[in-house]
Amino acid sequence: GANVRSYGEFAGMAQFNFGGFGLGYSYQFNPGNEPLNRRIGNTTHEIGLSYRFDRLAGLL
> pLDDT tens track of the chain, all 60 residues?
998 888 778 999 999 998 889 999 999 988 775 555 555 667 889 999 999 876 665 554
Amino acid (1-letter code) at residue 40: I
CA distance 14 to 35: 31
Among the listed residues 15, 13, 12, the one whose alpha carbon sits nearest the alpha carbon of residue 31: 12
The confidence score (pLDDT) of residue 52 equals 83
Find all residues with CB under 8 Å of 49, minimum gap 6, and list them. Answer: 21, 22, 23, 24
> What is the value of pTM for the model shown?
0.67
The confidence score (pLDDT) of residue 30 equals 81
Residues 6, 7, 9, 12, Cα dihedral to 10°: -10
The confidence score (pLDDT) of residue 56 equals 60
